[in-house]
Amino acid sequence: MSNDLSSEMEVDAFRRLFPLRFHERHLQESIRPDARPLGKARDTSVALGAVASADGSALAKIGCTTMLAAIKMEVMTPTTESADEGCIAIDFHMPPICSPLVRPGRPAEAAPVISKQLSDTILSSGMINLKELSLVSGKAAWMAYLDIYCLDADGALFDAALLSAVAAFSHLQIPVVSLNDDGRVVVVSDEDGGKLEKEPVNKEKRKLKLSSIPFSLTCVLHKNYILADPTAEEESVMETILTVVLDSSFQLVSLYKPGGPVLAQTSVIQDCVALTRQRLKELQKILNEAVSDMEED
Amino acid sequence: MAGKSGATPSTYSPSPTTQNKKRPPIFSDVDWVRSDGRGFHQCRPAFLRTGAVNSASGSAYAEFGNTKVIVSVFGPRESKKAMMYSDSGRLNCNVSYTTFATPVRGQGSDHKEFSSILHKALEGAIILDSFPKTTVDVFALVLESGGGDLPVVISCASLALADAGIMMYDLIASVSVSCLGKNLVIDPISDEESYQDGSLMITCMPSRNEVTQLTVTGEWSTPKIHEAMELCLDACSKLGKIMRSCLKEAASPVQE
């Protein structure tokens, strides 16, 4: 019956009343409502140094999905088990500005899930050697607080969040610090650089060495179709999603499929991994360009 | 891995906090130069854009120096079930900060006081009767705090409301002035705010020449208050023009 209706109805009305049929119609023609082919991700951009009050920051955009990540470095006393290691604390926030579904005092369900996924991915990928965050063995080490804010939520939140997080780490400038007489770590400011009383403890270690940076691609699985980089509308209407994280040497870091009626067969997972490999090259290029743009300035 | 497992060790920021520092004597002199090189009666350059958040009904981004703010407007949408029937619409405001907005890492929690000031500043300009039984939500996030946060949030919020097509009597522009010793300093940055003797903020509708909110704190003499109000009203009308042109700019490509 709705088939007959579709020929008479306005496109927008049809889209709202029968969202699934609307999308399936497109899928039959191997195209998506925003004119993308099924395997193509949206336009992506990265800008480094968006927040001056942080030690490292980045703004990442995938289509309309926007993430702002910033790192603040604080000093902590390392535990006795890992005396020469620093720490990274990762938190993902969805403030009420980002989506009509989030309201103050009622946080989004997705936020803690993504927060945990990000934390697991970044720490287990081995991108950062925690030993590099040590200042004085057993006495002082860096605690890197990475906070990621979703400014606009339009699907593929994890991908955008991870991209902004790794970009913020590549922008990170560790402040030069020295130990004062009370044994506290203080920043060496440029102004009194001439009359230095104490030698800085980390003159050499201003940048973290990032090895094997992880990149991800989320795909929507619907019947036999695989749609890369879904929008919020596609995510909400279709059956399930699958997120693949690969590191820069194409090693699998993480694979995440949160239930849903479609089972991911081996061939489907292989297809998703292949799509992620292509996407990884794109993302690497975008990140490298952002870094070299910043160095030129 | 040592992520967030177990109890988070207590940490401190290595940068010296401004609270411990004494007020530099320079501020009590008659002549000194502001750290960003502005004149005392000169505002920071304002950057305003509408349509920052796609999933909102209306939104705006404002950047005044280092102060960066995003405001999203949602609705008019159904009021909470618990609310009584009302002939006029409701306005719901919320202001929050990111954890990295301030020099020392904060908790990123809601700012209740600012939320209520924002509500009072906007309420008078919105034609609430135009959306009975429903609520308009105005949510602000301060991405970076560089001083004069509240006036920027208020001006940005009125721009976002206009972007959402909410009926208003006029745009709302807001500017603050700090009193530092003998001088009045308009649109103060964080450092100037932390050493101020008093502060005055005006929120007004520039084309109607009506004030929706006036806040005065600290030590003021009557002639100083007059002078500060003149300064603010003048700056508000200029800011109002910038906001108007920003809206026109956003609307013009659609007409083509």
Residues of A in contact with B141 (CB under 8 A): 95, 97, 149, 151
Domain-embedded: residue B4? no
Q: Does A228 map to a domain?
A: yes
pLDDT of residue B18 exceeding 60: no
**Chain A interface test: which of B10, B15, B156 (most A C-beta within 10 Å):** B15
Identity of the amino acid at A273: V
Per-residue pLDDT, B2: 39
> At A31, which amino acid appears?
I
Do residues B119 and B126 touch, judged by C-beta distance below 8 A? no
Domain around A107? 32-172+207-296
- Nearest CB partner across the interface for A97, out of B72, B105, B144: B72
Q: Is residue A10 part of a domain?
A: no
CB pairs under 8 A between A and B: 139
Task: Please report, for chain B, how many H helices and E strands are present, in that order.
Answer: 4, 10
Domain with residue B83: its CATH number is 3.30.230.70
Average pLDDT on B173-185 reads 91
pLDDT in tens, chain A (297 residues): 445 565 667 888 888 889 999 999 999 999 999 999 999 999 999 999 999 889 999 999 999 999 999 999 999 988 888 888 999 999 999 999 999 988 888 878 889 999 999 999 999 998 999 998 988 888 889 999 999 999 999 999 999 999 999 999 999 999 888 887 777 788 876 555 444 556 677 766 678 889 889 999 999 998 889 999 999 999 999 889 999 999 999 999 999 988 877 777 889 999 999 999 999 999 999 999 999 988 876
Whether residue B88 lies inside any domain: the answer is: yes
pLDDT of residue A80: 85
* Residue A196 counted as domain residue: no
- Rounded to whole angstroms, how far apart are CA atoms A235 and A155? 7
Residue B145 CA to residue A52 CA, distance in Å, equals: 10
**Chain B window 158-197: which residues touch A at a Cβ cutoff of 8 Å?**
none
User: In this structure, what token pair is assigned to residue B165?
Assistant: 């097509």
Nearest-angstrom CA–CA distance, B18 and A236: 47
Q: Which residues contact B224 (CB under 8 A, 6 or more apart)?
A: B179, B184
Based on the structure, what is the number of domains in chain B? Answer: 1
**% helix, strand, coil for chain A, step of 5:** 35, 25, 40
Residue A40 included in any domain:
yes
Q: What is the pLDDT of residue A253?
A: 93
Contact B100 A91 (CB under 8 A): no
Q: What is the model's pLDDT at position A9?
A: 73
CB atoms within 10 A of CB A13: 11
CATH (domain of A78): 3.30.230.70
Q: How many domains does chain A have?
A: 1
Would you call B141 and A70 a contact, using CB atoms and an 8 Å cutoff?
no
Is B6 within the bounds of a domain? no
Residue type, A107: P
B11 found inside a domain: no
Q: What is the CA radius of gyration of chain B?
A: 20
Examine residue B8 and state whether it is found in any structural domain, yes or no: no
Q: Check A187 against B4: CB less than 8 A apart.
A: no
Pick from A183-187, B119-123, B221-225: least confident: A183-187
B50 part of a folded domain: yes
pLDDT at A7: 66
Residue B256 pLDDT class (50, 70, 90 cuts): very low
For residue B53, the enclosing domain spans 36-249
- Whether residue A120 lies inside any domain: the answer is yes
**What chain A residue is nearest to B138 in terms of C-alpha separation?**
A97
What does the CA dihedral A162, A168, A174, A175 come to, rounded to 10 degrees? -130
> Does any domain span residue B123?
yes
Residue B144 contacts A where some CB pair is shorter than 8 Å:
yes
pLDDT at B15: 75
For the ranges A261-275, B94-108, B213-227, the maximum mean pLDDT occurs at: B213-227
Mean per-residue pLDDT over chain B, rounded? 87
**Confidence (pLDDT) at A83:** 85
Given this model, what pLDDT does residue B100 score? 93
- Residue A69 · residue A60 · CB < 8 Å: yes
**B141·A87 Cβ contact <8 A:** no
Q: Decide: helix, strand or coil at residue A220.
A: strand
Please give, rounded to a whole number of angstroms, the shortest distance from the CA of A181 to a CA of chain B.
14
Cβ-defined contact of B53 to A152 (cutoff 8 Å): yes
| A6 belongs to a structural domain | no
**Contact call for A87 and B9, based on CB within 8 A:** yes
Model confidence at B32, in pLDDT bands (50, 70, 90)? confident
Whether residue A232 and residue B55 make contact (CB cut-off 8 A), yes or no, is yes
Query: Residue B129 — pLDDT band, cuts 50, 70, 90?
Result: very high
Q: Taking the model in full, what pTM does it have? A: 0.90
Of B11, B108, B141, the CB nearest to A97: B141
| Nearest-CA distance A206 → chain B (Å) | 15
A188: its two tokens: 């060496």
In DSSP notation, A142-194 reads: EEEEEEEEEEE--S-HHHHHHHHHHHHHHH--PPPEEE-TTS-EEE--SGGGT
Domain-located, residue B210: yes
Helices (H) and strands (E) in chain A, counts: 7, 12
Convert the pLDDT of each residue in B131-177 to its tens digit: 988 999 999 999 999 989 999 999 999 999 999 999 999 999 999 99
Whether residue A4 is contained in a domain is answered as no
**Per-residue model confidence (pLDDT) at position B103:** 84
Beta carbons of B56 and A97 less than 8 Å apart: yes
Cα angle: B10, vertex B15, B19; to 5 degrees: 95
* Residue B4 in contact with partner chain A when CB distance is under 8 A: yes
